[in-house]
Amino acid sequence: MPRNRQSARAARLARLARSVPSHFRVKISQHGRATVLAAIGELDLASGPALEQALERAQAAELIIVDLRSLQFIDSTGLSVLIRASQRAQAAGRRFALVNGGSQVQRLLSLTGVTDRLMVVDTPEELLGES
């Protein structure tokens, strides 16, 4: 797709995302040089930008942990946000990890191979002693 068509499509998607009510929030907590972002609700097209903003605020942390245990749903948009955040952290020499979520979240992470490529743990505490 030509670049200008991609830009127009991205702008339409952003407008659509703003018009859809979101059932999502992020709780951020600091633990030494680590930042834990607890994703709560549904991570999808409408809520992806909120997680992106929270991840940008956490980018200076040596270790970024995204806790998915309170996530009821994630779609490909949410998955894309997590993968890009991991790539940015890795490029900056920082560590990035996910805390396993419920069955729907685990299934998506497993089917897409994310569990093979990213660090996935059962609780944040598994990593907080290392930060």
Residue 60 within any structural domain of the chain: yes
Tell me the three state secondary structure of residue 95. strand
Residue 4 within any structural domain of the chain: no
Q: Which of 120, 68, 63 is nearest to 90 (CA)?
A: 63
Give per-residue pLDDT as tens, 100-123: 999 999 999 999 999 999 999 999
Residue 1 within any structural domain of the chain: no
**pLDDT number for residue 8:** 76
For the CA atoms of 113, 118, 128, 70, what is the dihedral angle to 10 degrees?
-40
**pLDDT number for residue 2:** 55
Segment (H or E) for 110: helix 103-111
Does 5 score more than 80 pLDDT?
Answer: no
The CA-atom distances, in angstroms, between 21 and each of 29, 49, 51, 114 are 25, 13, 15, 28
Mean local confidence (pLDDT), 69-90: 95
| Structural domain count, the chain | 1
- CATH code (residue 47): 3.30.750.24
- Side chain identity at 38, as an amino acid letter? A
Residue 50 within any structural domain of the chain: yes
Residue 107 within any structural domain of the chain: yes
Residue 5 within any structural domain of the chain: no
Is the CA virtual torsion 104, 107, 108, 114 positive or negative? positive
**pLDDT number for residue 119:** 96
Cα distance between the two ends of the chain: 42
Residue 85 within any structural domain of the chain: yes
Range of the domain at 104: 22-128
Residue 103 within any structural domain of the chain: yes
Segment (H or E) for 8: helix 3-19
Give per-residue pLDDT as tens, 18-68: 555 568 999 999 999 999 999 999 999 889 999 999 999 998 999 999 999
**pLDDT number for residue 127:** 94
